[in-house]
């Protein structure tokens, strides 16, 4: 059985692959596969919220990894019962592990963006 953190990592990887290459590698864990497909089904709403929230920045300007992490977090805030502070904290952990360039700027950006989205969602 996978932990929620492991499911998030796998789902982030699938979102990254989808965005970069247009496909995903089939995997054996149902939880991350289901989460990935749920995010894909709501991608238009997720991306619209991101576009509406980003200031002086575009969705396309985000790196593939950051886009995957942020889309995952936004989906969780919009469509699950996971408390928003936990979602944001998990996204920051993923950003620090997979995206930061040793200067913490990306995790700070992700934190601000997701905090603004959390406020928009209420």
pTM of the model: 0.92
> 11-20, 44-53, 76-85 — which is least confidently predicted?
11-20
Residue 26: the pLDDT is 62
**pLDDT, tens only, 33-51:** 889 999 999 999 999 999 9
Give the chain's mean pLDDT: 91
Which residue range is the domain that position 10 belongs to? 4-121
pLDDT surpassing 80 at residue 27: no
Number of domains the chain contains: 1
Q: If pLDDT is split at 50, 70 and 90, which confidence band does 105 have?
A: confident
Q: How far apart are CA 84 and CA 92, in angstroms?
A: 12
**Cβ–Cβ under 8 Å, residues 71 and 88:** no
CATH number for position 37: 1.10.940.10
The C-alpha atoms of residue 73 and residue 105 are separated, in whole angstroms, by 18
């Amino acid at each position: 059985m996978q932990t929620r953190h492991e499911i998030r990592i796998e789902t982030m990887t699938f979102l990254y692959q989808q965005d970069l290459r247009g496909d995903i590698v089939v995997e054996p864990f149902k939880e991350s596969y289901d989460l990935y497909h749920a995010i894909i089904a709501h991608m238009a709403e997720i991306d619209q919220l991101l576009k509406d929230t980003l200031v002086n920045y575009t969705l396309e300007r985000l790196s593939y990894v950051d886009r995957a992490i942020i889309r995952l977090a936004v989906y969780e805030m919009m469509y699950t019962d996971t408390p928003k502070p936990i979602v944001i904290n998990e996204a920051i952990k993923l950003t620090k592990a997979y995206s930061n360039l040793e200067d913490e700027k990306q995790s700070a950006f992700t934190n601000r963006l997701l905090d603004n989205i959390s406020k928009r969602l209420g």
